[in-house]
């Protein structure tokens, strides 16, 4: 955006819309390196795209998928493959095409999204909107996630209004407040602009918006930020509260839950029990819940399974490896060692027992004596297998390196 990150975080993030013109961004090529109209055609015609990776909408209505999907032909007898001739008919008739989940299907956006997600510390998604000249795919609405709009091609007229519900949760979509949205949209907009190629627009979740292509077709990207909220933390706390026996207790036999006088004392007891439990809650347990929810939403860099498998068999002491780009990890202290033997330290002191390596999709266990080597490698302190610290000999280092490759933690450098 056109302001420094610190100023953006303090003045705009979650608070206000921000328009950044191409000239302010010093980006003469715009955003065509991420996705161009030719790239969109490639996706729509030659990549075997299936639902839900494409939506179509016209005049505020999402069109049935059967209008643009069908059989993939011989050897691909699926019934939801995108058919390019049907897509052409809809687009020529004024429908907006929405390429969804591009952070999973288009290489430049896979890389871009991963890097931006690490910078923001939030899960991201990317969609592309292709709108014919003079048309509008969706009426005024709000999103339940923050959005960065990147205008790639053509011009689009945006009208933005302040929220009817500030900072809505995912469970609070705009359809439940359609009348309020319509009423606010009839008033003066907070922002009334035409985006040109290379322009960017930030909209916090909840801000109302609508957009219409001008005298030419339009292509823009939306980068959706699936921000974690304090309510996410509340949900984690409620999940953990099931451990408290007082909160699991049944209501009295025969209680009439429609009778306020009968409900009130039970509510008082429940609130007291919940308050007592909250005073004892373990922050580490809450962090584990949040990690399990956030990390799987942002995948690390893709790997090449065939090349990775081939690399496993050729590892020696001189092999150089690198941590998988964008991999989120946490090395936890070991479980107690058997028979009272001293357990290894999570920072690498040798001993018996195991250490737990938490990843975005699973947890793997390793011998405790591997802790120092794993932490040093994942922190970027070493790349040559023979230099992995804390292990007795190269044979142990090679075994660990092969395990890290097999688990897709490491990749050939």
8 A C-beta contact, residue 144 and residue 318: no
Contact 157, 116 (CB under 8 A): no
Return the structure tokens found at 32: 């065509």
Predicted confidence at residue 220, as pLDDT, reads 98
- Centre a 10 Å sphere on the Cβ of residue 109 and count the other Cβ atoms it contains: 24
pLDDT along the chain (413 residues), means of 10: 88 94 85 96 93 92 94 83 95 96 95 91 93 94 96 97 95 93 95 96 96 96 93 94 94 94 95 95 94 89 94 96 95 62 51 85 94 96 96 96 97 94
pLDDT at 346: 52
Supply the pTM of this predicted model.
0.88
Angle of helix 84-92 relative to helix 37-46, nearest 10 degrees?
130
> Which segments of 233-349 are extended strands (E)?
321-323, 330-332
Which pLDDT score is estimated for 31?
95
CB count within 10 Å of CB 324 equals 21
The answer to whether the Cα torsion of 62, 63, 66, 69 is positive or negative is negative
Is residue 335 within 8 A of residue 354, CB to CB? The reply is yes
Strands (E), 14-118: 18-20, 54-58, 61-62, 69-70, 81-82, 96-99
Q: Which residue has the tokens 């005298």?
A: 215
pLDDT at 59: 86
């Amino acid at each position: 955006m056109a302001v420094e990150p610190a100023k953006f975080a303090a003045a705009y993030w979650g608070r206000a819309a921000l328009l950044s013109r191409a000239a302010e961004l010093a980006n003469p090529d715009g955003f065509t390196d991420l996705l161009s109209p030719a790239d969109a055609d490639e996706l729509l015609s030659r990549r075997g795209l299936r639902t839900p990776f494409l939506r179509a909408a016209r005049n505020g209505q999402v069109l049935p998928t059967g209008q643009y999907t069908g059989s993939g032909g011989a050897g691909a007898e699926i019934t939801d493959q995108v058919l390019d001739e049907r897509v052409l008919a809809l687009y020529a008739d004024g429908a907006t095409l929405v390429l969804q989940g591009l952070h999973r299907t288009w290489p430049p956006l896979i890389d871009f999204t991963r890097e931006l997600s690490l910078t923001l510390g939030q899960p991201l998604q990317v969609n592309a909107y292709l709108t014919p000249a003079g048309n509008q795919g969706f009426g005024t609405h709000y999103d339940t996630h923050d959005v960065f709009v990147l205008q790639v091609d053509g011009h689009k007229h945006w009208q933005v209004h302040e929220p009817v519900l500030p900072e809505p949760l995912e469970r609070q979509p705009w359809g439940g407040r359609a009348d309020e949205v319509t009423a606010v949209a009839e008033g003066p907009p907070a922002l009334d602009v035409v985006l040109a190629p290379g322009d960017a627009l930030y909209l916090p979740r909840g801000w109302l918006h609508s957009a219409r292509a001008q005298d030419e077709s339009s292509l823009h990207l939306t980068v959706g930020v699936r921000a974690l909220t304090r309510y996410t933390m509340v949900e984690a706390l409620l999940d953990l509260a099931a451990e408290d026996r007082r909160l699991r207790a049944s209501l009295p036999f025969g209680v009439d839950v429609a009778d306020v006088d009968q409900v009130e004392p039970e509510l008082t007891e429940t609130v007291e029990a919940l308050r007592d439990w909250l005073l004892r809650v373990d922050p580490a347990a809450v962090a584990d819940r949040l990690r399990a929810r956030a990390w799987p939403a942002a995948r690390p860099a893709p790997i090449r399974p065939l090349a990775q498998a081939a690399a496993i068999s050729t590892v020696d002491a001189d092999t150089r490896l690198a941590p998988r780009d964008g991999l989120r990890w946490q090395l936890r202290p070991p479980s107690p060692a058997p028979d009272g033997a001293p357990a290894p330290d999570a920072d690498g002191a040798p001993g018996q027992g195991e250490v737990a390596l938490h990843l975005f999709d699973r947890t793997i266990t390793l011998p405790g004596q591997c802790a120092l080597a794993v932490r040093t490698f994942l922190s970027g302190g070493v790349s040559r297998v023979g230099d992995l610290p804390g292990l007795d000999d190269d044979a142990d280092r090679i075994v660990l390196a092969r395990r890290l490759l097999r688990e897709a933690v490491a990749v050939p450098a």
